[in-house]
Amino acid sequence: MARNTATASANKIHDDGVARRYGFSGGLVPGVDVYAYMTHPPAATWGLAWLEHGALDARFVAPVYDGDDVLVIASTPEPTPTGGRMTLEVRNGSGQTCAVGEARLPQPLVDGPPVDRWAAVDPATDPPDATPEALTTGTHLAFAPHPARDDILRTYLGDIGERLSLYTDEAVAHPGWLLRDANYVLSANVRLGPWIHVESHVQHHGLVWFGNTMSARATVAREWERKGHRFVELDVALLARGEGGDDDRVVAHVTHTAIYRPRTPAAAEED
């Protein structure tokens, strides 16, 4: 059963009242949590190998609401234990498709990009409003270091209803928890109103262990308008370092797309 874990979020698209003004039935379950549901089949099939160097492309095509019964369908072609791909679909209790995607375990392994591909900048101390000018192509963003603490990660597993014991048995972070940083690197650097995560392409390059420290760097790859919505695409590096203070390493490379400024409800009613 889906759970809206972001009812207290600054992003009011997860609030029932605000979301209804934008034409939804209630507050949206975060896209990063729907993504987390989608990771269950590849993680169950390929285990640590997929968490370390697998990939998942996800596109969110319809809302998921709190209390929805969700079914994640992993379709053919059948993956092998050492590699392959699987298509994924998330359906709600009414049978509606809410998300689609593909998971892969590449062979040979994909080398990770160097950290210095992304500029080392400080997070904004006084974020500007989210506008095309603030999100021009090439703008650099950052999300400050934060701990992947044992208690935080265990609570997260309960919040999303993850049943795989892999994460606690191996003391590794869940990929859905990691993807949250791709949201935070945006929301920490510009002031947003209600906004909607619509797509992510994630390639893993390493494991994040309980006790590591996470951070993120990003570059604005595109900003555009479509049907009154303003979109932004971020090129994101999720970084981790060990408890010994070793150098940051790229543990995931993410292409992350969001409607950062939905068209106004009035504009939506005019269509």
61-73 pLDDT per residue, tens: 999 998 889 999 9
Query: pLDDT grade, residue 99 (50/70/90)?
Result: very high
pLDDT of 270 over the 50 cut: no
**What is the model's pLDDT at position 246?**
77
Region 175-198 average pLDDT:
96
**What is the model's pLDDT at position 104?**
93
C-alpha–C-alpha distance, residues 169 and 215, integer Å:
24
Average pLDDT, the chain: 92
C-alpha–C-alpha distance, residues 148 and 172, integer Å:
9
**What is the model's pLDDT at position 76?**
63
Query: pLDDT grade, residue 106 (50/70/90)?
Result: confident
Name every residue whose Cβ is closer than 8 Å to that of residue 46 and which is 6 or more positions away in sequence.
54, 79, 81, 105
Q: What is the DSSP code string of 149-193?
A: -HHHHHHHHHHHT---THHHHHTB--HHHHHHHHHHHHHTTSB-S
pLDDT of 221 over the 50 cut: yes
Instruction: Write down the pTM of the prediction.
Output: 0.93
Lookup: tokens for 64: 């998921």
Query: pLDDT grade, residue 88 (50/70/90)?
Result: very high
- Domains of the chain plus CATH, in order, are 12-270 (3.10.129.10)
C-alpha–C-alpha distance, residues 71 and 239, integer Å:
31
